[in-house]
């Protein structure tokens, strides 16, 4: 019985480590795919029911913007290991416009069907300082 419990604990620990490794890999892959405009590859990490809409929305956006950077700022799995909050920062510009824009986004990732999927993405509201001293 003790051996069975020890084996079960080991498998559970390895599974948790495997999920964490998989999360890091999937988030990194998604960021790379988005950075280089590989929308169909990025869509493989989105739930099946949302893929067509995801591809259509991202393809439409590609015509109006150029992504210069897509950086992962934080990856925070929750205590259950089934969900994670990811912060990404995208730097982009519009065609024929030299102004670079930076947007911070929060993604929600979930462990679904034995792999990680990005289930939601929304902009993070940031407040710019109104005076030079603010935020110091």
pTM of the model: 0.78
The pLDDT of residue 10 = 36
Cα–Cα distances in Å, from 70 out to 10, 17, 29, 104?
Answer: 36, 26, 11, 10
- With tokens 């988005």, the residue in question is 34
Count of domains for the chain: 1
Has residue 131 been placed in a domain? no
Residue 38, C-beta contacts closer than 8 angstroms, at least 6 positions apart = 32
* Residue 136, in any domain of the structure: no
Answer yes or no: is 8 within a domain. no
Which of these, 18, 11, 33, 13, lies nearest to 115 by C-alpha position? 18
CATH number for position 109: 3.10.450.50
Tell me the average pLDDT across 1-21: 52
Give domain status of residue 70, yes or no: yes
* Three-state DSSP class for residue 15: helix
Within a domain: residue 71? yes
* Residue 97 · residue 105 · CB < 8 Å: no
**What range does the domain containing 52 cover?**
18-123
Q: What is the pLDDT of residues 87-122, one digit of tens each?
A: 999 999 999 898 999 999 999 999 998 999 999 999
| Percentage of residues of the chain with pLDDT beyond 70 | 80
Residue 102 lies in a domain: yes
Query: Do residues 124 and 73 make contact, with C-beta atoms less than 8 angstroms apart?
Result: no
63 part of a folded domain = yes
């Amino acid at each position: 019985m003790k051996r069975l419990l020890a084996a079960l604990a080991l498998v559970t620990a390895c599974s948790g480590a495997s999920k964490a490794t998989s999360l890091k890999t999937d988030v990194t892959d998604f960021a790379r795919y988005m950075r280089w405009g590989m929308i169909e590859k990025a869509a493989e990490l989105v739930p099946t029911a949302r893929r067509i809409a995801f591809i259509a929305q991202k393809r439409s956006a590609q015509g109006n913007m150029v992504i210069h950077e897509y950086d992962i700022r934080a990856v925070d799995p929750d205590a259950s290991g089934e969900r994670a909050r990811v912060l990404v920062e995208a730097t982009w510009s519009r065609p024929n416009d030299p102004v670079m824009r930076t947007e911070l986004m929060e993604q929600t990732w979930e462990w679904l069907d034995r792999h990680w999927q990005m289930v939601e993405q929304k902009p993070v509201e940031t407040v710019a300082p109104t005076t030079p001293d603010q935020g110091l």
